[in-house]
Amino acid sequence: MKVQKKMYSVLFIVFIMSCFACNSAPPPAKEKPVEPKPQPVKKVEKVKPVEEPKVVLEDSYVFHFKANSAVMEENDVNKLAAVIEEFKEAADSVEFVIEGHAADLNLPKGERELSVQRVNYISDKLKNNGIASVRIKTVAYGATRPVVPSDTKKNRAKNRRVIIKIVNQ
């Protein structure tokens, strides 16, 4: 029994020492901080001035054309002449955006070309009457922006058009 008591005492002492040994471990070695690698400096781009949006000054002027041609409907010929007279009196800062459209006949290339011809017709009329070409912007949409479906003759006639928008810079 004496031996057993000594053995328990020794085990108890070993146990206590092992507990203290766990708590008294040396602190981990400090690592050197890693310095970040220098990054290349990005070029600073010049900031482009924001253009003020152009303001549409009046309602658009719409002119209609005969089927498959760049000939204006007779009713609109006199209307265009009157509009051109108004445009001549406009300030030099006023610009004209001419948008050409065609009816959808499932001929995208032909419709686009027709809208170009119509835009050029109106543009030439403005230029020939004293409107500076720098004030005229043109765009031809073909049949991509119909006002109504091109399912009837009446609707196709509505889609065969040129729109002049007056904008101010």
Structural domain contains residue 121 = yes
Q: Considering the domain boundaries, does residue 63 fall inside one?
A: yes
Does 16 map to a domain? no
If one counts the domains in the chain, the total is: 1
> Which of 62-66, 67-71, 90-94, 125-129 comes out lowest in average pLDDT?
90-94
Whether residue 33 lies inside any domain: the answer is: no
Q: Are 96 and 80 in contact (CB under 8 A)?
A: no
* Within a domain: 23: no
Decide if 130 is inside a domain: yes
Structural tokens at position 28: 């981990």
The CATH code of the domain that includes 133 is 3.30.1330.60
Contact 126, 94 (CB under 8 A): no
Given its phi and psi angles, is residue 108 left (phi above 0), alpha (psi -120 to 50 degrees) or beta? alpha
d(C-alpha 152, C-alpha 157), whole Å: 9
Angstrom distances, CA of residue 59 to CA of 133, 161, 165: 21, 15, 7
Residues of the domain holding 97 = 55-168
Question: Which whole number is the average pLDDT over 90-101?
Answer: 90
Question: Residue 43 domain-assigned?
Answer: no
Higher pLDDT, 44 or 37: 37
Are the C-beta atoms of residues 57 and 91 closer than 8 Å to each other? no
